[in-house]
Every structure is written in C-alpha cells, then in structure tokens.
Chains A and B, each alone.
Chain A
Amino acid sequence: MLITSATIHPEELKKNLTDHGAGAYVSFEGWIRDQNDGQEVLRLEYEVYEPVAVAEGKKVIAEAMQKFPLLHVNCVHRSGLLEIGDCAVWVGVTSAHRDEAFSACRYIIDKVKVRLPIWKKEHYVAGHSDWVNCERCVTHGHQHPQASVS
C-alpha cells in the first residue's frame, strides 16, 4: 500500500506482480473525470492522512489475501492536485485463476474507497470548489457517489 504525490504508472507497477504461477492479472484504475453531478470539473485535490491510510490499506490487502487465494497484491493512491485524466488509484492482483483475481480486486477498491482517511476536493470550471461527500450520496442511494473517478 502506497500513498504518493507522483504520477501513477500502472504498467510499471504491474511488473512487480508477475509470477510464473499466475494465470490471471486483474487491475483497476480510477481516473479523474471532467464532470460530476452536472458540474464541469477542472481538477481535483486529494488530502490523505498517510499514517492511518497506509495502515488501513494494508489491513484491507491482508483481508483480501485471507479471503482469496492470491499470489501478489498492491494498491497505490494519489495525494495532492490531479488533472483530468490522471490516475487517482490503482489496484493490481495476480492469482492462479481469474475468479479470485476479479473478486479480490473489487474487494480492495471497494474497501479503499470507504475506509481510508482520504478526502477529495473538486475544483470546478465555474470557479468554486467543494469537498465531495461519498457517505451522504451512499445514504441517498446514488449510483456513482464519488466525484470524478468511476
């Protein structure tokens, strides 16, 4: 589990997961979108409380390793200012077969989004900015609660 203010390069990260016993590699990349909830997004800012985010992220990965027969797992999340199209989060897993790889990747990204102390502020084309509140959207049952990453 890594928090970084540097650009995420999925192809580089993927290399560390290779294994001759792996028949499957599944990854997830979350990208910054240019609109959310009817507003045009200019850029996005992630605030991360790193000590707890890393510890909690490691717990999530350990849980995934416990639940699924995985070979290798890694997760990287950005901090700081991101532009449209940037990769905000990356999850990669390898396993013998695809079922557990898909399931584990989904498990990790879902938990990372709701458990790690990470906040995002959207800066809009119109000039204002606002903190995104995923929990509130979850309560209201929105399909895509988060701001700019699908």
Chain B
Amino acid sequence: MTKNITVRYFAGFREHAGVAEEEVSLAVSNAGDVFESLKHRHGSEEPLGHCKVAVNDEMADWDAVVNDGDIVLLFPPVAGG
C-alpha cells in the first residue's frame, strides 16, 4: 500500500537531496524501507546501522512501522561532541 510520507533530510543528506524536506508516496512498511527507497535522494553509501531515524520526532528503530502521514527524519552518522 502506498503511503504519503513527509521526509526530512539532515546535514550531508540534505545537501545531497538539495532540499530539507519533501513529500513522497512510497510503498513501504517500515523506516528502513524509507531509507532504502530514497537512496537516490540522500545519497548515502553507509550501512543502515551507521545512520539513525526518527519518526514524528521520536528516535525509532529501522523496523519501526511507518504510517500514512508520518514525518520520517533521516539522520546521517552523527558527530556530536
């Protein structure tokens, strides 16, 4: 089933995509599917485990279910401190 999702890109992902946010319609079930489906947008060659994801401003696992209308935040590898 196709879901309408808002995707937000950060740091290097945003620079690759050329936008900070976009609406997408994807046939996905979880957050990992969103990451894989949008590789051409965020451009990441990183293993999934190196990146992080939040759904509706809550940190999530890659197998977290994504629902129609959700906001998925794709985080490149973090580098705080």
Contacts and interface: CB of A to CB of B under 8 A. Distances in A.
Contacts of A4: none
A135 B50 contact: yes
B73 A118 contact: no
Q: Which size bracket describes the interface of B in this complex? A: 10 to 19
A77 B80 contact: yes
A89 B80 contact: yes
Contact of A88 (B58, B73, B81): B81
Interface in A24-48: 30, 46-47
With most chain B CB atoms within 10 A of its CB, the pick from A30, A49, A89, A117 is A117
Interface of B: 10-12, 46, 50-52, 54, 57-59, 73, 75-81
29 contacts: A30-B81, A49-B54, A49-B73, A52-B54, A52-B57, A52-B58, A52-B73, A55-B59, A89-B80, A113-B80, A114-B78, A117-B52, A117-B54, A117-B73, A119-B12, A119-B78, A120-B80, A131-B11, A131-B79, A132-B79, A133-B50, A133-B79, A134-B77, A135-B46, A136-B46, A136-B50, A136-B77, A146-B79, A147-B79
Interface of A: 30, 46-47, 49, 51-53, 55-56, 77, 88-89, 109, 112-121, 131-136, 139, 146-147, 149
